[in-house]
Amino acid sequence: MIILHNYPLAMVEHVGFKIFFRNLQPLFELVTCNKVEADCMEIYAKEKQKVYEIFDKLPGKISVSADIWTASDGSAAYLSLAAYYIDEDWQLKNKILNFVTIDPSYAEDMHSGVIMNCLMDWDVDRKLFSMIFDSFTSENIVDRIRDRLSQNRFLYCNGQLFDVRCVIDLLNCMAHDALEDLGEVTQKIRESVCYFKSSEAAHATFIELADEVQGLDWQESGIPGSAKDSRDRIMGFDKFVHETCQAEGSNSYLDKYLEEPLFPRNVDFNVLNWWKVQSPRYPILSMMARNILGIPISRVTSESRFDTGGRVLDHNWSSLPPTTIQALVCAQDWIQSELAVL
């Protein structure tokens, strides 16, 4: 209960908690905060062994995301590593691997060393396909990890597929830069709007100019852009790809796959289910698909995709020892994943 709901370990020593249990069962022997902490560490060790066994039997590769958390009072920073993979039943899964305290003032080689130690502790360095970093992660950190893994030839394509940037972080950066650059233009637009609203004569002039501009646009483009145009372009691209693939006329597994008819673009299509059914026909391609489709497009959860403030550790746990914090955060993630299946 403490692990699942972020309750403070000291709750077992609270007067209200003791009265509650005494009313339920007077003979129940309450435990101390230290005993609860020891029990949580034991649960963590047992759950970690289960995750070890899952990774050991995993048919494909693993992608790992690196995420920075902070304590609720801002007193500490944490590095969270999470593994993403597709299991034997072609279901996309993810599990937190580590939640370690870091010092932002550390040199870049120390940060990369922390990540490498975590990967080696889980023995996933040899199974690693890619890592997902935020847009602020130094290229030096990425290069150090890539070079370390490349020495043992663990990475595909000489590590060219290793570095994946979080798309939400990139979009946030693009939007921020665009708004900053457009600040002067936006101010001019606001001033123009205020001017044309200042009098009826100015407003009439604006309407007249707008009609002229619209007429010019119509003459240049023929018809205005629409959603139908976008759909037509997509259908045309699909047709081009299909015809190009048919023209190659080879008998390899790749060519046979490319000759498959295109599925319509709709929300009901599940690409993982398709590969699950087709994997006996395309054993090698399905292995490639399993690794590539296991890469998350973003390391940010859907409910916080536009929250740039970072993730915050609950205050009930942030004052605990680092090893206990890691045990609680990881065990919570693993147990919740098991409960979601039930």
Look at residue 9 in the predicted model and tell me its pLDDT. 95
Q: What predicted TM-score, i.e. pTM, was given to this entire model?
A: 0.73
Q: Which residues contact 313 (CB under 8 A, 6 or more apart)?
A: 69, 70, 71, 72, 76, 78, 325, 329
Q: Tell me phi and psi for residue 269, to 5 degrees.
A: -75, 130
Q: Which residues contact 221 (CB under 8 A, 6 or more apart)?
A: none
How buried is 268 (Cβ within 10 angstroms: 0-12 exposed, 13-18 middle, 19+ buried)? exposed
Look at residue 196 in the predicted model and tell me its pLDDT. 79
Q: 3-state SS of the chain?
A: CHHHHCCCHHHHHCHHHHHHHHHHCCCCCCCCHHHHHHHHHHHHHHHHHHHHHHHHCCCCCEEEEEEEEEECCCCCEEEEEEEEEECCCCCEEEEEEEEEEECCCCCHHHHHHHHHHHHHHHCCHHHEEEEEECCCCCHHHHHHHHHHHHHCCCCHHHHCCCEEECHHHHHHHHHHHHHHHCHHHHHHHHHHHHHHCCCHHHHHHHHHHHHHHHHHHHHHHCCCCCHHHHHHHHHHHHHHHHHHHHHHCCCCHHHHHHCCCCCCCCCCCCHHHHHHHHCCCCHHHHHHHHHHHCCCCCCCCHHHCCCCCCEEECHHHHCCCHHHHHHHHHHHHHHHHHHHHC
The CA distance from 282 to 6, in Å, is 45
Look at residue 224 in the predicted model and tell me its pLDDT. 46
Look at residue 170 in the predicted model and tell me its pLDDT. 76
70 strand-pairing partners: 77, 312
The CA distance from 12 to 10, in Å, is 5
Mind listing the pLDDT tens digit for each residue in 310-323?
Answer: 688 888 898 899 99
Look at residue 298 in the predicted model and tell me its pLDDT. 73
Phi-psi region of 159 (alpha: psi -120 to 50; beta: other; left: phi over 0): left
Using alpha carbons only, how large is the chain's radius of gyration in Å?
Answer: 27
Bridge-based pairing of strands 92-102 and 77-86 is antiparallel
Query: Exposed e or buried b for every residue in 213-229, given b needs 16+ CB within 10 A?
Result: eeeeeeeeeeeeeeeee
List the chain residues with pLDDT less than 50. 218, 220-226, 240-241, 247-250, 302-309
The CA distance from 77 to 327, in Å, is 16
Q: Using an 8 Å Cβ cutoff, are 299 and 65 in contact?
A: yes
Mind listing the pLDDT tens digit for each residue in 240-296?
Answer: 445 555 544 446 788 888 888 887 778 888 999 999 999 999 998 999 899 999 988
Q: Using an 8 Å Cβ cutoff, are 335 and 95 in contact?
A: no
The CA distance from 298 to 256, in Å, is 31
